[in-house]
Structure 1
Amino acid sequence: MKPVALFLALALFAGASHAEEPASQPTNGQIPEVWTARQAVAFALAENPDSSIALKKIEEARAVFAIARSADFPQVSLVAEYGQTNNPMYAFGSILNQGGYNERIDFNEPGTTDNLQLKAGVSYRLYDGGENRAAKMAAEADVEMTKADQLGVHQQLGFEVLRAFYMIIQTEQLVRVREESLEAMSASLQVGLARFEAGDLLRQDLLNLELQQSVASENLIRSRHHLQLARRGFANLLGLPASEVAVAAGDTQEVPENLDYRNRHELMQLKSQEAVAIAEIERARSGQLPSLDTFADYQVNQGWVTEESGDSWMAGVRLQYSLFDGGNTASRITLAQLRLQKIQALRKKIELALNLDLEQAQLDYQQARERMAVTEKMVEVAQEAARL
């Protein structure tokens, strides 16, 4: 079974396109009586909570991207407000807005006034130095990073399911071996008892046979316990409650032909992080550039004290530029650049580590195949010797 375990390690280096392909036809939540490897992986990807969590993270990142994209559109607002005041400044302003001014009004004591104001406004940023474009780039890269996270969850989950699947097969075979060993030891003990009663066997030798039978029985108990644990773990990975599961013992997998560590989710995540870091540099640099906004609003004012009403409008543009910020923008640019350099160095480190892992997995797999061929030859020799 060691080649199977090594196959699982090699499977992680398969292309991302292979990892995203469905392992089998949709299960629709139906639980088969006997699981195949493909059915198990497909079911786990659909039902395991980790898959659902990864999907929610993607949706969350898309919501953040939608927030960043909203800056591309104008902002429209409607405001309705009613109030009363005897504050000279506000009262006189309300009178002017309502068109109710006359020469008898005392500027210092205009009296109590009321005002109902209905106002509609629109504003739009014409230029922000590239800050919004950088924010959208960062948000889009974050979406890709969460997709890489999801791919990583699927790859790891598929690996764990396959490992648990073949662990059940391996443990079932071991249980059968232990059962045969116990049967053989029990038969030897019966023969030993007969020889002991006939005086042809020492008691010490009989005790040794009983001890060997006890050891074989204990090994069988352990193997059965391990089988139950393997089945429980397999069911847990599938998102199912503890239950008895059966797997297809003859179901085998081929080693993927395309073994490329560059499709590993770790590198895809770092690639997205690098894109985020580049976007953060652009966002920081936008602080060195001016921003230009345009705005317009229209309002209607109605007063019941003055029994007058009026309307007005205002429109214009606003230019804003920071002449000095104490080095804040320069520091943010430096910080963003350092983060990018750190990610690039980490990416190189991960590439070297993954390449080494791939080479080790290939060598271990080749060694396991060679050892299995030797073992098969030894079994053939033993069978021939037993026949003779």
Structure 2
Amino acid sequence: MKKFKHTILSSAVLFSVFGLAQDTLSISKNDISKKITSTNLQLKIAEKNAQSAKADYNQAKAVYLPNISVSHTGISTTNPLMAFGSKLNQEILTASDFNPALLNDPAKTQNFATKFEIQQPLINVDGFYGRQAAKAKMEAFQLQTERTKEYLELEVSKAYMQLQLAYKAVKVLEKANTTGKANLKLVENYFKQGMLQKTDLLNVQVRVNEIANQLQYAKSNVQNASDYLGFLLNEDTQGKVYKPSEALENTISIEAMNTTLSENRKDIQAMSKSSEAYAKMLQSSKMTFLPRLNAFGSYEMYDATILGTSAKGYLVGAQLSWNVFDGYKTVGKYQKAKAESQKADVEKDQYTKQSQLELNKTNRQLKDAENKVNLSKLAFEQSQEAYRIRQNRFAQGLEKTTDLLQSETQMIQKELEQLQAVFEYNFTKQYLQFLTK
């Protein structure tokens, strides 16, 4: 009965760990690069922001394009002025309509008017500068969208390497688990022969359990890295796990890197365009102090019946307007635009200096990462040799169990550290390329 319960419990544990049937999907870095530009949500948001800015720029076409409208209005009135004017517009006024009694107390009069209106801006200097500001803003968002694409390429590459690292860690710990079990079997044999104490057996059992626990965490990290990659690709990873088609390399390639900050970097160009947009808005605010010249015209048709066109007339003209004083409203807008323009210049300068600071820092980090890879590789090789020697001596009864376990732990730790160091170097190199692109 106990054996039966143990079998059920073991099956339940195995189902909880592996029973959630998952589809393992092999994916390459090239596949991700192709998908990311069409599926990523962050990129879609950036594209919508750019489209919104383009729409603002299209609205600014109103500074030189006409405004055309059509209306049809029907009224029924006994108002003396409206009734007289309606008849006059319909061209049906007679001498009898000038009778004071009829003028003061007219009968119900109907009037239907069809009107075509056009308003044509001629000289609106503030509007011209406003349109230039909208164009600079649109270009800034387009550049920011391109920079977002470059950032996502970096982020996807990082996520892919994290997935590679997670799988590599699982492989290392599975190997360690196999080695630990082999050591446990050896220690159990020695214990049965009376060559080792109970504490030695318990220490090895504890170590095997620790490795099994680390292996489970490593498998969870695989799922976490896979889920994040799925998030970047905007794909549902429920019941799925990605597996990289390329394994993480244990070595690095040293290349000469560009360490100069380029003013042609998309985000820096976007900041320049943003600053330009605020400068144009400042100029637009200045030009609001100047007069505006606009033309207007209309063509009207009147009748006593709906949609009638018995009487027709047109009106054309031009207006020169100048807002001389509006209670400091225009002055306040100008002062605000000036402050925002100056703020944009300061923000651009700050962003450029921060970018240079980040570039200098990353350049040093790359050198540190290279040194860390070399040292971790050496440490791993040394720990491997130390473990091999201790394992041979332990088999001959010349080494303590605790020393063997310590050596084994150190070897696994150094191998994982080497993998982490390679990951850090490769990502830092790509990040430096991103900063100098």
Q: What TM-score do you get using the length of structure 2 for normalisation?
A: 0.74
Q: Which residue in 2 is equivalent to 1:316?
A: 317
Partner of residue 247 from structure 1, selected from 240, 244, 248:
244
Q: SS of 1:111's equivalent? A: coil
Q: Which residue of 1 aligns with 2:177?
A: 182
| Aligned position for 1:84 | 76
CA displacement at 1:48 relative to structure 2:
1.6
Cα deviation, residue 263, structure 1: 4.5
Given that 1:296 and 1:315 are in contact with CA atoms closer than 8 Å, whether structure 2 keeps it comes out as: yes
Corresponding position of 2:351: 350
Which residue in the other structure is 1:197 paired with?
192
Query: Which whole-Å CA distance do the structure 2 matches of 1:172 and 1:118 have between them?
Result: 75
Q: Distance in 2 between matches of 1:256 and 1:280?
A: 44
Shift of 1:55: 1.9
Question: Following the alignment from structure 2 to structure 1, what is the Cα–Cα distance between the partners of residues 316 and 330?
Answer: 31
Q: Matched residues in 2 for 1:181 and 1:229: separation?
A: 22
CA–CA distance in structure 1, aligned partners of residues 309 and 295 of structure 2: 31
Relative to structure 1, the CA distance from residue 258 to residue 319 in structure 2 (aligned partners, 3 Å threshold; closer, same or farther) is same
The aligned counterpart of 1:335 is 336
Query: 1:264-302: CA deviations, max 9, x gaps?
Result: 554333223212211211221122010111122222222
Aligned-pair distance for 1:191?
1.3
Distance of 1:216 and 1:251 partners within structure 2:
22
1:296 is paired with a residue of what secondary structure? strand
Partner Cα separation in structure 1 for residue 273 and residue 72 of structure 2: 45
Check if 1:56 corresponds to 2:56.
no
Shift of 1:115: 1.8
8 A contact 2:75–2:111 mirrored in 1: yes
1:96 maps to 88
**How far 1:38 moved relative to its partner?**
3.1
Residues 1:184 and 1:132: Cα distance change in structure 2 (over 3 Å): same
Determine the C-alpha separation between the residues in 2 that align with 1:76 and 1:241.
50
* Distance (whole Å) between structure 1 residues aligned to residue 378 and residue 140 of structure 2: 49
Distance in 2 separating the partners of 1:201 and 1:383: 25
RMSD: 2.7
Q: Is the 8 A contact 1:100 1:309 kept in 2?
A: no
CA contact (8 A) 1:118 1:299 kept: yes
Q: Is the 8 A contact 1:137 1:275 kept in 2?
A: no
Contact between 1:37 and 1:165, CA under 8 Å: does it hold in 2? yes
State the 1:135 CA deviation.
Answer: 2.1
Deviations 1:38-96 (A, max 9, x none): 32123122212222222222222222211111331122222222222111001111122
What are the superposed Cα offsets for residues 212-255 of structure 1, whole Å, 9 maximum, x if unpaired?
11111111111111112111221221122112212133478987
Residues 196 and 206 in structure 1, CA contact (< 8 A), matched pair in contact too? yes
Residue 322 of structure 1 aligns to a residue whose secondary structure is: coil
Structure 1: tracts of 5 or more residues without a match: 1-31
Q: Which residue in the other structure is 2:298 paired with? A: 297
Q: For the Cα contact (< 8 Å) 2:299–2:313, is it kept in 1? A: yes
Kindly indicate whether the alpha-carbon contact (under 8 Å) linking 2:110 and 2:304 is maintained by their aligned counterparts in 1. Answer: yes
| Alignment correspondent of 1:108 | 104
Aligned length: 354
* Equivalent in the alignment of 1:65: 57
SS at match of 1:101: coil
Q: Take 1:261 and 1:228, find their aligned partners in 2: how far apart are those partners?
A: 38
Q: 1:286-321 CA deviation, whole Å, 9 max, x = no partner? A: 2201011112222222236xx994332222111111
Distance 1:195 1:250, change over 3 A: closer
What is the match of residue 29 of structure 2?
Answer: 37
Secondary structure at the residue paired with 2:26? Answer: coil
Distance of 1:210 and 1:379 partners within structure 2: 24
Distance 1:126 1:214 in 2: 84
Q: Letter of the aligned partner of 2:174 in structure 1?
A: E
Counterpart in 1 of 2:269?
A: 268
Greater Cα offset, 366-375 or 171-180: 366-375
Q: Does 1:124 align with 2:120?
A: yes
Partners of 2:272 and 2:342 in 1: CA distance: 12
Distance 1:197 1:76 in 2: 101
Separation in structure 1 between the aligned mates of residue 378 and residue 199 of structure 2, nearest angstrom: 37
Which structure has more relative contact order (CA 8 Å, sep 6+)? It is: 1
Provide TM-score, normalisation by structure 1: 0.83
Task: Give the deviation of 1:208 after TM superposition.
Answer: 1.1
SS in 1 for 2:153: helix
Relative to 1, partners in 2 of residues 1:363 and 1:301: Cα closer, same or farther, differing over 3 Å?
same
What is the one-letter code of the residue matched to 1:125? P
Q: SS in structure 2 opposite 1:262?
A: coil
Change (3 A) 1:185 1:136: same
Tell me by how many angstroms 1:201 deviates. Answer: 0.7
Unmatched tracts of structure 2, length 5 or more: 1-23, 393-437
Q: Percent identity?
A: 21
Q: Which residue matches 2:418?
A: none
CA contact (8 A) 1:175 1:223 kept: yes
Call closer, same or farther: CA 1:256–1:270 in 2, change over 3 Å: farther
1:10 is matched with which residue? none
Note the alpha carbon deviations across 1:84-128, whole angstroms, 9 max, x for none: 211100111112222222322223233222222222222212112
The alpha-carbon distance between structure 1 residues 93 and 185, as it changes in their structure 2 partners (threshold 3 A), is: same
What amino acid is the match of 1:320? S
Change beyond 3 A, Cα 1:71–1:251: farther
Distance 1:263 1:218, change over 3 A: farther
- Pick closer, same or farther for the CA change 1:312–1:382 going to 2, 3 Å: closer
* Counterpart position of 1:166: 161
